[in-house]
Amino acid sequence: MLQDVRKDLGKLLRSLTPEAFDEQWEHIQVEWADQKAWLKYMAKEYIPTKERWAQAWRQHAHEGIDTNNYIESWHSNLKRNYLGRIRRQRVDFLIRLLSEEIEPDYNRAHIRTGIGFGTRYLNKAEQEGKKSAETLIFSEAEARVRVVSAELAMVDSFTKDDIDYEVKIRDNSFVACSCPAFSRSGLICKHMFLAQRVTTYNIQLEKSILPAAVVSDPETIVNEGRRDEKLHLVDKALTLMDLLADRSLFKRVQSSEDELDKVSTASLTQYISAAEGLLHMKNDVFLHKLDHAKQTR
């Protein structure tokens, strides 16, 4: 069964024309009609970005990542992170795994970077960088990014013809850039956004992403008129934290296999995603404290 899926996916990836691609996608939807969750996952996460990975749209791409690299990186990620765990189990479990585990993980990567989770988590400079990266037409964007190895991509400067920057890759994520903007601020720069746009890698920064309001609008921080409103919000946050702190349900599941069987992997993964998102947001709220701690060290 696993072989059949791979074969059908391989055909999809290697279809030479958009028409052949559409035909193969139709075929997959009919052939695997019973795998609804997986088809939904494909339709949501892969089909809308087909120009990025399907050969039908990529015949003239000699630079950047070609279709084979795309498949390889996707497969190696799949193998390393997911298949290892189920090697000895039945292969049709893979289909369930794809929809239950990989999808939430994929979403989590987006929450961590703030991309796709709403641009409000990017500050003004980052939003502008993202826009610069998005205004280029795709083939031009692609020509400006060269993935040199599993650790390094080279990205052309937007302004100077003879300069390119080193964008570091770690665990399939862009983590740093050698340009002045990133070196100065540690914020996501346009080179990282550009590289993210044309490859299969995410952006992942250890430093949480700055919300625009805190840094760019000091008036709202000191404005006395807002204190009541803010105190009310703090109260609300504390109430929610008390509710979240109740561990009894998790403990019960932890100590009873019967209870454990009743909760799904997907819902647990989603809970963790949301909790990690909250932790990142907490860092954002108290960013001034983090900055202060850094300075006094």
DSSP notation for 201-250 = -EE--SSPPPPHHHHH-HHHHH-GGGHHHHHHHHHHHHHHHHHHT--HHH
Neighbouring C-beta atoms of residue 211, cutoff 10 Å: 17
Least separation in angstroms between residue 188's CB and Zn ion is 9
Binding to Zn ion, residues 176-205 (CB under 5 A): 177, 179, 182, 189, 191
Least separation in angstroms between residue 181's CB and Zn ion is 6
List beta partners, residue 156.
164
Least separation in angstroms between residue 51's CB and Zn ion is 24
Q: Is 153 in the site for Zn ion (CB under 5 A)?
A: no
Least separation in angstroms between residue 133's CB and Zn ion is 10
Q: At 101, phi and psi to the nearest 5?
A: -105, -45
| Residue 163 or 272 having the CB closest to Zn ion | 163
> What does the block give as tokens for 183?
């070196």
| Residue 42 or 153 having the CB closest to Zn ion | 153
| Residue 54 or 189 having the CB closest to Zn ion | 189
| Residue 157 or 270 having the CB closest to Zn ion | 157
Stretch (H or E) spanning 51: helix 50-53
| Residue 42 or 203 having the CB closest to Zn ion | 203
List beta partners, residue 153.
147, 167
Amino acid at 267: S
Least separation in angstroms between residue 183's CB and Zn ion is 8
- Residues lying near Zn ion in the complex (CB under 5 A): 177, 179, 182, 189, 191
